[in-house]
Chain A
Amino acid sequence: MEKYNLYDTLFEAIAVVDKNAKILYSNHFFSTLFKASPRVIKKLDTIFELFDLHSPFPKDLFDKAVKEGGNFVSEEMEVLSTEGNTSSHVVIKVTTLSDGNFLISFNDISIEKKLYDKYRVQLEELKKTHTQILQADKLATIGELSAGISHEISNPLTIAAGSMELLTDLLDEEQEDSENLIQGCIDDIIESHNRINSIILNMKSFLHSQAEEDEREYCDLESVIIDSIKFVTPSYNENNVLLKSTFEEKDLVGLVNKVKIEQVMVNLLSNALDALVDSKTKNPEVQVFVRKDRESNLLEIRVSDNGPGIPEDAREDIFNAFYTTKDIGEGTGLGLAIASKIIEVHQGTLHAEDSKDGASFLIQLPFIEILSYAQNEMIQRARDVQDESTLKVMVLDNEVQVLNILNKICADEGIVFMGSVNGNDALKILDDISVDLIITDYFMPQMDGGEFSSKVREKNIKCPILYLSSASNQDVFLRDKDKYGISGMILKPFTKEEVIKGIYGTLGIDKEK
Chain B
Amino acid sequence: MSATLKLETQILDNKVEVKVIGQIDEDASFEKILSIKQEVYIFDLEEINLINSCGVREWINFLEKLPSTSSITYRNVPQVVVEQINMVQGFVREGAQIESFYAPYYNEQTDQVVKILINVNDVKDGKAPQKDQDGTTLEFDAIEAQYFNFIKQQG
Contact = CB atoms under 8 A, between A and B. Distances in A.
Interface residues of B, number: 16
A39 B26 CA distance: 33
Interface stretch (A30-38, A256-264, A505-513): A30-38
A115 interface: yes
A483 to B, nearest CB: 71
B26 A31 contact: no
Contact of A28 (B106, B113, B146): B146
Given A37-B113, A39-B106, A111 B143 contact: no
A355 interface: no
Contacts of A118: 26
A71 interface: no
B77 to A, nearest CB: 15
A86 B87 contact: no
Given A11-B87, A37-B106, A39-B106, A31 B54 contact: no
A111 B83 contact: no
8 closest A-B pairs (Cβ-Cβ)? Answer: A37-B141, A28-B146, A32-B83, A111-B52, A111-B53, A37-B142, A39-B141, A111-B54
Most-contacted residue by chain B among A8, A37, A38, A118 (CB, 10 A): A37
A39 B106 CA distance: 9
A386 interface: no
A115 B54 contact: yes
A157 B50 CA distance: 69
Interface of B: 26, 50, 52-54, 83, 86-87, 104, 106, 113, 139, 141-143, 146
A36 B87 CA distance: 17
Contacts of A37: 104, 106, 113, 141-142
A135 interface: no
A470 interface: no
Contacts of A8: 146
B82 to A, nearest CB: 10
Contacts of B87: 11
Given A39-B139, A114-B52, A118-B26, 20 more contacts: A11-B87, A28-B86, A28-B143, A31-B142, A31-B143, A32-B83, A37-B106, A37-B113, A37-B141, A37-B142, A38-B142, A38-B143, A39-B106, A39-B141, A86-B50, A110-B52, A111-B26, A111-B52, A114-B26, A115-B54
Contacts of A114: 26, 52
A39 B104 CA distance: 11
Nearest to A110: B52
- The SS class assigned to the B binding surface is mixed
A119 to B, nearest CB: 11
Interface string A104-115: 000000110011
Nearest to A38: B143
Interface of A: 8, 11, 28, 31-32, 37-39, 86, 110-111, 114-115, 118
A86 B106 CA distance: 21
- The SS class assigned to the A binding surface is helix
Nearest to B86: A28
Nearest to B141: A37
18 contacts: A8-B146, A11-B87, A28-B86, A31-B142, A37-B104, A37-B113, A37-B141, A37-B142, A38-B142, A38-B143, A39-B139, A86-B50, A110-B52, A111-B26, A111-B52, A111-B54, A114-B26, A118-B26
Nearest to A86: B50
A111 B50 CA distance: 13
A86 B83 CA distance: 15
B59 to A, nearest CB: 15
A37 B115 CA distance: 13
Nearest to B149: A28
Contacts of B53: 111
A120 to B, nearest CB: 15
B14 to A, nearest CB: 37
Nearest to B87: A11
Contacts of A31: 142-143
A248 B138 CA distance: 92
A374 B83 CA distance: 54
Contacts of B54: 111, 115
A114 B50 CA distance: 14
Contacts of B146: 8, 28
B83 A115 contact: no
A32 B52 CA distance: 12
Nearest to B54: A111
A358 B38 CA distance: 53
B26 A115 contact: yes
A332 to B, nearest CB: 27
B85 to A, nearest CB: 12
A86 B51 CA distance: 12
Most-contacted residue by chain B among A28, A86, A114 (CB, 10 A): A28
A37 B139 CA distance: 11
A6 to B, nearest CB: 14
A32 B143 CA distance: 11
Nearest to B50: A86
A203 B19 CA distance: 57
Nearest to A11: B87
A118 B26 CA distance: 11
A111 B24 CA distance: 13
Contacts of A110: 52
A37 B103 CA distance: 11
B12 to A, nearest CB: 35
A8 to B, nearest CB: 7
A110 B54 CA distance: 11
A28 B144 CA distance: 11
Contacts of A111: 26, 52-54
A31 B53 CA distance: 17
Contacts of B139: 39
